[in-house]
Amino acid sequence: MLAMSVLLTSIAWLAAAGGDTAVIRVNQVGYLPDAPKVAVLCAVGQSDSATRVFVVRRENGRTVLGPRRASASGAFGPCTQTWRLDFSALRTSGRYTIDVDGAGPAAIRIARDAYAGAADTLLYYMRQQRSGWNPFFRDSVHRLDGYVIDDTGGVVKFQPVSGGWADASDYLQYVATSATATYDMLMSFRDHPNAVGDAFAANGLPGRNGVSDVLDESLHGIAWLLRMFPSDTELYNQLGDDRDHAYLDLPTTDSADYGWGKGKQRPVYPCTGRPQGIFQWKNRATGVASTAGKYASAFALAARVLGAHDDSLARLLRRKAEVAYALGRRSPGVCQTAPGHAPYFYEEDNWVDDMELAAAELFSLTHEAHYRREAAAYAAKEPVTPWMGADTARHYQWYPWYNAGHYALWRIGDARDRTTAAGDYRRGLEAVVGRAGNGFRAGIPFIWCSNDLMVSFATQALLYRRMTGDARFREYEQAAVDWLFGTNPWGTSMVVGYPRGGRWPHDPHSVVSLQFGPEAITGGLIDGPVYRSIFSNLRGIALRHEDEYAPFNTGFIVYHDDMGDYSTNEPIMDGTANLIYLMSALMSPRPSSR
């Protein structure tokens, strides 16, 4: 009923769109009793900044909070004026409605377990994205991967690397995003082992196997990373390239042709330390450390998590972690993804963050003192992830989106390391908050994959709060979570199929969704809104139907629930995995001491 009334409110508003009116935006998943609780009133087509008064009522109509003043919080995007409706004082679990003169009511829920099941739901998308044997299709996909290629695209040899996850709705696969996703999920299991249930087996089919489903999914990632790093001298980085984009096929019938026949082998790109791209475009690769560090971090944490449970695998992972880290030491610099026929690639420009995380995890695993010193030295080279506070950045330029290395260093460091790590996180958060004076408290740059930045900002704020007990960013952390679940100008959750019955993307850029319905990709976090200029300048974007969000796409950022918009409405694997950590942490705030 909650969701239904949200939907009806929105529909009623949309019918009136065009006139002067306002809408209330809320977190459709719900609010934690002790967390900040804010809904946002967004006015479109008028510019008054009058004080508004809101009231919160129980379902039986009894007023439990208010009338309270909501003060104007300025214009943002399509909202000519916003007001923050702060009902944090209400701490009793239950279902309520909030309304304000001229808008609402909107349904809200307060519950201690508001986020229960969220991480499990996100894992549906991860399983659906599996390459190799795929539990959604109950069939193998891309089983012939792949051919290792040289700088000119010539075949060096066949290498069995089937497995892992498709990166998004195309089927390219990258170690940068896959190793990061694997690390995020391992971290989720380490810190919050009970946040996810056990309803699926290792192969992703329904059925308990005595292992948390988030660990099952992490180990699916680890298995692929081991195939992509088969010997001490072969460090692979990418599987497939944008020749994939020639067809809109299901993964089971992918007819992409890389020159070896439709649906045959896909190219495997090694990290070479040199610029790559076999057609007209080249990346700006300078070394291997960005990828080597990510391999080492995931392997080291997996070795530690598995520990005595799987001694032989843990020993192999430890050795692989040490070798990958040594490769990164020997060849500092970035190993970027390779462009194909289009100029787009993941333009990662930092690698010290990756080596910092690797060194810190290797110290946790081995207790060899040099790793801790090296982690601290890397941390000093990039204290703040550079997109924080910036207005823009290149595609995946500063990746991973937040530096988990600082948290890893804080866990193992001495008092000075801990103070430094917390201070580095604080400065990054301050830089984002400095741009977040708007009604939605949004301070991230709206570049491609803005939702990834939103998730990472919230994650860094949560970790900072955990590290220091300092709650000064709590309102902004919660605003980022709320944004992802509906407190945004469009009033939509950014996760497909979640919450059930809520407003969420029904026409995502996905051929699986197109053929099987959007529920087939339940749990996928979409890219999220982008600057209008980005949407206008990307190649090949054309909306397929009338924009139901047109009244809200009048500002500096746009979002379209439209299959044709791959810039804002395409689910992303690595962002989904990042969100798994955040949701696990919000479900069980006290981290495990392991």
Q: Which stretch binds Ca ion (CB under 5 A): 64-72, 215-223, 503-511, 542-550?
A: 215-223
Cβ closest to Ca ion, residue 213 vs residue 361 = 213
Q: How far is the CB of 403 from Ca ion (least distance, A)?
A: 8
Cβ closest to Ca ion, residue 198 vs residue 547 = 198
Cβ closest to Ca ion, residue 283 vs residue 350 = 350
Under the binding rule (CB under 5 A), the answer on residue 548 touching Ca ion is: no
Q: How far is the CB of 178 from Ca ion (least distance, A)?
A: 14
Under the binding rule (CB under 5 A), the answer on residue 211 touching Ca ion is: yes
Cβ closest to Ca ion, residue 216 vs residue 561 = 216
Cβ closest to Ca ion, residue 26 vs residue 362 = 362
Q: How far is the CB of 400 from Ca ion (least distance, A)?
A: 6
Cβ closest to Ca ion, residue 124 vs residue 200 = 200
Under the binding rule (CB under 5 A), the answer on residue 452 touching Ca ion is: no
Cα 528 from Cα 484, distance rounded (Å): 9
Q: How far is the CB of 217 from Ca ion (least distance, A)?
A: 9
Q: How far is the CB of 210 from Ca ion (least distance, A)?
A: 7
- What does the per-residue mask of binding to Ca ion show for 223-252, with x meaning CB under 5 A? ------------------------------
**Which position has the token pair 């089971």?**
252
Under the binding rule (CB under 5 A), the answer on residue 213 touching Ca ion is: yes
DSSP-derived 3-state class of residue 23: strand
Cα 121 from Cα 496, distance rounded (Å): 10
In the list 145, 353, 452, 527, the residue contacting Ca ion (rule: CB under 5 A) is 353
Amino acid residing at 12 = A
Cα 354 from Cα 335, distance rounded (Å): 12
Q: How far is the CB of 209 from Ca ion (least distance, A)?
A: 5
Cβ closest to Ca ion, residue 132 vs residue 293 = 293
Q: Which stretch binds Ca ion (CB under 5 A): 124-132, 157-165, 345-353, 471-479?
A: 345-353
The size of the interface with Ca ion (CB under 5 A), counted in residues, is 10
Which is nearest to 144 in space by CA: 279, 252, 272, 238? 252
140 to 36, 49, 135, 383: CA distances (angstroms): 46, 58, 9, 43
Is residue 208 within 8 A of residue 275, CB to CB? The reply is no
Cα 582 from Cα 580, distance rounded (Å): 6
Q: How far is the CB of 382 from Ca ion (least distance, A)?
A: 9
Cα 544 from Cα 380, distance rounded (Å): 48
**Which position has the token pair 């990418």?**
238
Q: How far is the CB of 509 from Ca ion (least distance, A)?
A: 26
Q: Which stretch binds Ca ion (CB under 5 A): 75-83, 281-289, 351-359, 437-445?
A: 351-359
Tokens of 337: 């993804």
Under the binding rule (CB under 5 A), the answer on residue 216 touching Ca ion is: yes
Q: How far is the CB of 332 from Ca ion (least distance, A)?
A: 12
Q: How far is the CB of 455 from Ca ion (least distance, A)?
A: 17
**Residues whose CB is less than 8 angstroms from the CB of residue 517 and which lie 6 or more positions away in sequence, other chains included:** none
Which of 259-263's residues contact partners 24+ apart within 8 Å by CB, and which partners?
A: 259/153, 260/147, 260/155, 263/144
Amino acid residing at 35 = A
Cα 97 from Cα 61, distance rounded (Å): 9
Q: How far is the CB of 412 from Ca ion (least distance, A)?
A: 20
Under the binding rule (CB under 5 A), the answer on residue 209 touching Ca ion is: yes
Cβ closest to Ca ion, residue 198 vs residue 257 = 198
In the list 27, 128, 134, 350, the residue contacting Ca ion (rule: CB under 5 A) is 350
**Which position has the token pair 């991973």?**
400
Q: What is the DSSP secondary-structure string of 103-145?
A: EEEEEEEE-TTTTTTHHHHHHHHHHHTBSEEETTTTEEESTT-
Cα 344 from Cα 174, distance rounded (Å): 14
Cβ neighbours, 10 Å, residue 233 = 9
Under the binding rule (CB under 5 A), the answer on residue 382 touching Ca ion is: no
Q: How far is the CB of 125 from Ca ion (least distance, A)?
A: 16
**Phi then psi dihedrals of residue 296, to 5 deg:** -60, -40
Q: How many CA atoms lie within 13 A of 400 on its CB side?
A: 35
Q: How many CA atoms lie within 13 A of 471 on its CB side?
A: 6
In the list 140, 198, 234, 430, the residue contacting Ca ion (rule: CB under 5 A) is 198
Under the binding rule (CB under 5 A), the answer on residue 88 touching Ca ion is: no
Cβ closest to Ca ion, residue 120 vs residue 213 = 213
- What does the per-residue mask of binding to Ca ion show for 265-304, with x meaning CB under 5 A? -------------------------x--------------
In the list 170, 354, 356, 574, the residue contacting Ca ion (rule: CB under 5 A) is 354
Q: How far is the CB of 345 from Ca ion (least distance, A)?
A: 14
Residue 149: burial class (beta carbons within 10 Å; 0-12, 13-18, 19+): buried
Tokens of 355: 């080596």
Q: Which stretch binds Ca ion (CB under 5 A): 350-358, 418-426, 439-447, 523-531?
A: 350-358
Cα 250 from Cα 252, distance rounded (Å): 5
Cα 572 from Cα 303, distance rounded (Å): 27
Q: Which stretch binds Ca ion (CB under 5 A): 5-13, 210-218, 379-387, 408-416?
A: 210-218
Q: Which residues bind Ca ion (CB under 5 A)?
A: 198, 200, 209, 211, 213, 216, 290, 350, 353-354
